Structure 1
Amino acid sequence: MRKRLRMSRLTGDDLFDKPDYALVGIVKIPELEKSPARAIGRRVLWALLALLLCSLVVYIDRSGYRDAKGTTLSYLDALYYSAVTLSTTGYGDITPITESARLINVLFITPLRVLFLIVLIGTTLEVLTERSRQAIKIQNWRNRVRNHTVVIGYGTKGRTATAAVLADGVRPSEVVVVDEDQAALDVAAAHGLVTVRGDATKSDVLRLAGVQHAAALVIAANRDDTAVMVTLTARELNPRAKIVVSIRESENTHLMRQSGANSVVVSSETAGRLLGIATITPSVVEVVEDLLSPEEGYAIAEREVEPSETGGSPAHTRDLVLGVVRDGTLYRVGDSHVEEIEEGDRLLYVRQGGRA
C-alpha cells in the first residue's frame, strides 16, 4: 500500500508549485451569483448616464459647435451629436469649431466615449479578464487559507458531512472540496464552497487544497483503499489535523486508525444497525436522526468545563452529559476515570438544536 502511495506521488506534475494562472479551472473560488438581467440593465444605465452627461456638456457649450445647416444647436442636436460621437459613428454634420469646444472634446468627450464603449462591450471584456481575476483570487486564497476544513469526495456522504459542518457554524469560505467529478464540484461551488479538481491520493492535490494548514479533514471516498491512501498522505502532510474517515467495511477500521485517522465511521454497518432497530423500536431511530440534525430538536455538542463544575460529578451538571473528553480520550459518564470533573476537560452533552 505504501509503495503504491509513493508511486502515485511521483507521477504527473506537481500542481502545488504551478503558477496561479495555471490553476484556473483546477481551483475555483466561489463568488456571488449575479443576475444576467441586472448586469445588463446596469450597463445600459451607465451608458445612458454617459450619453446624458455628454449631451449636457455639448449643449452648455453649444456656441462652440457648428451645424451643417448653420443653425444654433438645440438640446436634441446636442443629444444627437453625443450619440454619434460616443458610438464613434461621427457623421461630421455637427463639429466643434472653437478652441474651447475642441479642448472639452479632448478632455471630456473622449474619456466618455471610451467609458461608453467599455460599458457596451463589458461582457466581452469580462470574459477576457476572467482568467486573470480567478488567478488573483486563487493567489489571495492560498496566502490566507488556514484552519479550514477539507472534504474529500462530494458524493452523498461528502455533501451530508459538509451540510453538518456548515450547520455547526463553519462559513462556506472555510470549506474546501476535493473531487475528480466536475459535476460534483459545480454543485459545491454553487453552495459557495472552494473547490479543487484532482486525485486526492496525490500529495500535490492535497497541498493545493491547503491540507498542511487545515484544522480538519473529512474523507468520504467511494473505496476503502482510496480512503487509506488519502489518510496516509494527509497525515504525513499535517500531523495535527483531525481526520474523520468514512469506510464501508468494519474490518478496515484498524487499518484506518493505523493510517492516522482520528475517527472512523463504518457507513454500511451503521445504516444496517439503524434499519434493524427501526423494525423493533422505530422511535429510537427518530431520536438518533433528531440528534444528527443540529438545526432542530436536540443535538450532541461539546463544550469546555465551567469553573463552577470543576470537582463535581458529570451527572450533576446543568446539561445532560454523555461523556468527558480528557487528554484526547473520551470516557463515558460512569467511568471511574471521570468520577470528578477536572480543569481542562471537555463535556460531550445534549443541547437544544439550533442553540450554540
Structure 2
Amino acid sequence: MPDDQERHEQSRHGYVVLPDRGNTIWRALAQRIALGIGIVVLTVVLVWIDRGGYVDSNDPGGGLDLIDSIYYSTVTLSTTGYGDIAPVSESARLVNAFVVTPLRVAFLVLLIGTTLEVAATQGRRLFRIARWRKHMSDHVVIVGYGTKGRSAAETLVNNGVSRETIVVVDKGGAAVSDAHADGLAVVTGDATRSGVLQRAGVEEATQVIITTDRDDSNVLSTLTVRQLNANAYIVASVREHENAPLMKQSGANSVITSSDAVGRLLGLSSLSPTLGTVMEDLLTYGEGLEVAERDLLVSEVGQQPQSLPDQVIAVVRDENVYRYFDPTVTQLARGDRLIVVRPARELPWAPRPGTHGEETDAEEA
C-alpha cells in the first residue's frame, strides 16, 4: 500500500488505485529483503564458526574477527571478491564450494528477481489501469467512502451490481484501505475538481452517489458532476434539511436528508418500539422484509395493486410515482413498475417469469 507521502501526492493528482490482487509489491519486497538479510546472516555465521580456516592478507597472523566475517560474507555474496581474505583450510574451502556458492547464486537471483518484479509490477499496474479505463462505462461512482458510502456500495453489491462497475472517489487515507478491502477501485482526490471526476469516468457513469460528510462539498461535487454528465442519475445526501433545495438546484435527482431520516427513526422508535423495529427491518438488508422495485408481471396487467400477492405500496408509471390507492393506478398497465414490501430472501430486483416482455401460459391460451 502507498505510504502517507504517496497518498498525499496521489490525492493531489487524482491517482487511480485498483484493488490489489494477492500480495502487494511492498509486502513482496519486504519479504525479499528479509530473505536477503537471512542469507547474509547465515553466511556470516558459517564463516565465523570456521574463522580459523581463513587468512587475511592484511593481517596474516591475526585471524578473522566478527567484522572480518561480515566483510568477507558481503563481498563474496555480491561477487565483488577483493581477494584480501581467502579460505585456506579444507573445511573452509568445502563450505565455500558447496554452501556459500549456492547462497551467492540465490542472493544474486533474489537481487535481480526483485528488480524485475518491481518493474513488472509497475508495468502490470499501468496496464490494469489502462484496461480499466477502456472498459469503464455505464458504471456507478460513489463520492465519499465513509459509513454512508460504504453502506450504499454494500447495498448495490447485494442487489446484483458487480464490484467491477463501482468506482469510489475519496481524498484518501482509511477510505482507500476500506474500499480495497471491499474489492473496489478508488480514485483519490477532491471530488469537487473536474479532473478527479474525469479520472473516475463520470462522463460515462449512469449513476453517481455523493455522500461526503460536508454539505458544501456535496453541493460542489453535484454541480461538477452535472456539468460533466447531463444524463447521470445523481443521488446526494445532505446533513441538514435546509440544504436539500440547494442540492436539488445543483442538479441532484434525489436528495436524502440524513439527519431528518435518523431523527424520524428515533422518534418512531420512541413512540412505538414495534414500529421502529419494523422500520429498521425494512432498512436492513437480508433479514425479514425488504422494500423493492420490480417489473409488472404480464398476468398482473389490469389488476388492482391491492389484489397482488406482494404488498404494493407504490406504482411507477411514466416516471411518476403514485401511491397504491391513487385513482390513477386503480388498474395496472403494461410498463408499470411496482414498489413492494416482500420477504428479504428474494433478490429485490431479480427478474421473475412473465416479466420483461415474456409471455405467460395464460396469455398464450
- Residue 3 of structure 2 corresponds to none
Judge conservation of contact 1:294–1:354 (CA < 8 Å) in 2: no
Choose from 215, 220, 227 the match for 1:224: 215
Judge conservation of contact 2:13–2:189 (CA < 8 Å) in 1: no
Distance in 1 between residues matched to 2:287 and 2:157, nearest whole Å: 14
Judge conservation of contact 2:144–2:168 (CA < 8 Å) in 1: yes
Question: In structure 2, what residue type is equivalent to 1:265?
Answer: I
- Residue 22 of structure 2 corresponds to 33
Pairing 1:159–2:150 present: yes
The verdict on how the C-alpha distance between 1:328 and 1:83 changes in structure 2, with shifts beyond 3 A counting, is farther
Choose from 322, 327, 351 the match for 1:331: 322
The verdict on how the C-alpha distance between 1:229 and 1:345 changes in structure 2, with shifts beyond 3 A counting, is same
Identity %: 44
Distance in 2 between residues matched to 1:117 and 1:327, nearest whole Å: 70
Deviation per residue, 1:21-80 (Å, 9 max, x gap):
9x998101113233979x979xx9xxxxxxxxxxxxxxxxxxxxxxxxxxxxxxxxxxx8
Distance in 2 between residues matched to 1:232 and 1:24, nearest whole Å: 20
- Residue 265 of structure 1 corresponds to 256
- Residue 287 of structure 1 corresponds to 278
- Residue 90 of structure 2 corresponds to none
- Residue 67 of structure 2 corresponds to none
Deviation per residue, 1:292-342 (Å, 9 max, x gap):
122221111111111111111111122111111112221111012211111
Question: In structure 2, what residue type is equivalent to 1:145?
Answer: M
- Residue 39 of structure 2 corresponds to none
Could you list the structure 1 runs, at least 4 aligned residues long, displaced by more than 4 angstroms after superposition: 80-88, 116-121
Unpaired runs of 5+ residues, structure 1, are 1-20, 45-79, 89-112
- Residue 93 of structure 1 corresponds to none
Choose from 259, 262, 276 the match for 2:267: 276
Distance in 2 between residues matched to 1:341 and 1:324, nearest whole Å: 8
Distance in 2 between residues matched to 1:238 and 1:155, nearest whole Å: 24
Question: In structure 1, what residue type is equivalent to 2:176?
Answer: L
Note the 1:160-199 alignment, pairs <5 A.
160-199=151-190
Judge conservation of contact 1:168–1:294 (CA < 8 Å) in 2: no
Question: In structure 2, what residue type is equivalent to 1:183?
Answer: A
The verdict on how the C-alpha distance between 1:82 and 1:345 changes in structure 2, with shifts beyond 3 A counting, is farther
Choose from 312, 335, 347 the match for 2:303: 312
Distance in 2 between residues matched to 1:225 and 1:40, nearest whole Å: 45
Distance in 2 between residues matched to 1:223 and 1:288, nearest whole Å: 27
The verdict on how the C-alpha distance between 1:139 and 1:24 changes in structure 2, with shifts beyond 3 A counting, is farther
SS at match of 1:271: helix
Residue range with higher mean Cα deviation, 156-165 or 144-153? 156-165
- Residue 53 of structure 1 corresponds to none
Distance in 1 between residues matched to 2:257 and 2:13, nearest whole Å: 36
Note the 1:32-111 alignment, pairs <5 A.
32-34=21-23, 84=101
Choose from 293, 316, 325 the match for 1:302: 293
Judge conservation of contact 2:14–2:199 (CA < 8 Å) in 1: no
The verdict on how the C-alpha distance between 1:327 and 1:213 changes in structure 2, with shifts beyond 3 A counting, is same
Cα distance, 1:128 vs structure 2? 3.2
- Residue 228 of structure 2 corresponds to 237
Distance in 2 between residues matched to 1:287 and 1:33, nearest whole Å: 41
Pairing 1:138–2:114 present: no
Judge conservation of contact 1:304–1:347 (CA < 8 Å) in 2: yes
Cα distance, 1:150 vs structure 2? 0.8
Judge conservation of contact 1:274–1:285 (CA < 8 Å) in 2: yes
CA root-mean-square deviation = 3.0
User: What is the TM-score with the length of structure 2 in the denominator?
Assistant: 0.67
The alignment covers a number of residue pairs equal to: 273
Unpaired runs of 5+ residues, structure 2, are 1-9, 36-96, 348-365
The verdict on how the C-alpha distance between 1:327 and 1:122 changes in structure 2, with shifts beyond 3 A counting, is farther
Choose from 117, 138, 142 the match for 1:147: 138
- Residue 7 of structure 1 corresponds to none
Distance in 1 between residues matched to 2:269 and 2:320, nearest whole Å: 31
Judge conservation of contact 1:301–1:349 (CA < 8 Å) in 2: yes
User: What is the TM-score with the length of structure 1 in the denominator?
Assistant: 0.69
Distance in 2 between residues matched to 1:279 and 1:229, nearest whole Å: 36
Question: In structure 1, what residue type is equivalent to 2:150?
Answer: R
Distance in 1 between residues matched to 2:251 and 2:261, nearest whole Å: 21
Cα distance, 1:127 vs structure 2? 2.5
Distance in 1 between residues matched to 2:218 and 2:108, nearest whole Å: 53
Question: In structure 2, what residue type is equivalent to 1:32?
Answer: R
Judge conservation of contact 1:244–1:263 (CA < 8 Å) in 2: yes
Cα distance, 1:279 vs structure 2? 1.3
The verdict on how the C-alpha distance between 1:136 and 1:333 changes in structure 2, with shifts beyond 3 A counting, is same
Distance in 2 between residues matched to 1:151 and 1:322, nearest whole Å: 28
The verdict on how the C-alpha distance between 1:118 and 1:255 changes in structure 2, with shifts beyond 3 A counting, is same
- Residue 313 of structure 2 corresponds to 322
